[in-house]
Amino acid sequence: MRIATPLSLLSCLWLCACFTADLDPGLAGVFACEESSDCPEGLVCANELCETADALPTIEVTNPEDRMPLAFDPADGPTRIIPVRVLGTLTLRPRNETSEHVSGEGHVVVFVDGQEAATIDSGPLSGGVTVDVQVANTPGPHRIRAVARRNDGIDYDNEEAKGTRLFWLDDGQPHVAILRPWPGTVFDLDIEPVTVEVTSIHFEIEPPQGIEKFERRGHAHIHYDDPFPICPRDANCDNGYIAIVPGPGRDNSVDTMLPESGATTASLTAVLRHMDHTPYFHPFMPDAPTEGEPLFDTIQIVRAAD
């Protein structure tokens, strides 16, 4: 005779099977997460999975050196070659070898001024690998970013998986650059303080004081989504800056609020000023202070919903 199994007993058996499965709470690459606080102790959240910190790659750009000046020579033509050295803990695999993700494996993609310039997928990354990249031969700041990319083509999203470096092509003239935030940084739509850090070459950045104009001395104004280079010649635009660098008690940086915004790409611009806040034009001509060109650096940031 066949005896029916009560539904409650079946439910119990099913639930018991679920809760007695051998799921180790410390197992990496299994549990989904949004932030590290969602993960069991000892694991961190990366690419929406709880992983061991040791399995996540680190990347560092060691050449060019930080804010290193490289001599500008117009005879080099429209582009020039720069050797970039990358150091890291990623186990390198050829980018077309496999599409299966293995934590701690992948390749490195090198960007120059926002454009993909080289791929590193072989060699002893732990000892450093050097690749030659093409850089636009223009005086002023240039930026390198090296990113660890997984076998499946997705970038590792832990902060240590990318290295950055700003360097100058130095023509002996003043230039300014935004050092922080890095181009492409994503900010949510909440109004929160953002630190803007500025650096310069052949120009001394100091707090605004007095009304005298000095060659290669002054400060910087920070603009949000204003048009450059025309802004310094338009009084309404020129007066629309959101911050001054140096900020109160700060060294070449300031904490400022980004304007309220929807999801968009926006620009941040640092423009050099005289002590009296008037625009600094190059070349410096005390008798014709509005002649020449403004000195500024513009980057793009992203505003996005959290």
Helix (H, G, I), strand (E, B) or coil at 13: helix
pLDDT tens per residue, range 36-86: 888 888 788 888 888 887 878 999 999 999 999 999 999 999 999 999 999
Question: Cα–chain-centroid distance for residue 26?
Answer: 32
Contact 175, 147 (CB under 8 A): no
Contact 157, 272 (CB under 8 A): no
pLDDT tens per residue, range 96-109: 666 788 888 999 99
Q: What is the pLDDT of residue 68?
A: 98
pLDDT tens per residue, range 171-229: 999 999 999 999 999 998 877 789 999 999 999 999 998 888 999 999 999 999 999 99
Band of pLDDT at residue 290, cut at 50, 70 and 90: confident
| 133 has pLDDT over 60 | yes
What are the structural domains, with CATH classification, of the chain? Answer: 22-53 (no CATH), 56-170 (2.60.40.10), 173-306 (2.60.40.10)
Single pTM value for the model: 0.86
Question: Cα–chain-centroid distance for residue 31?
Answer: 28
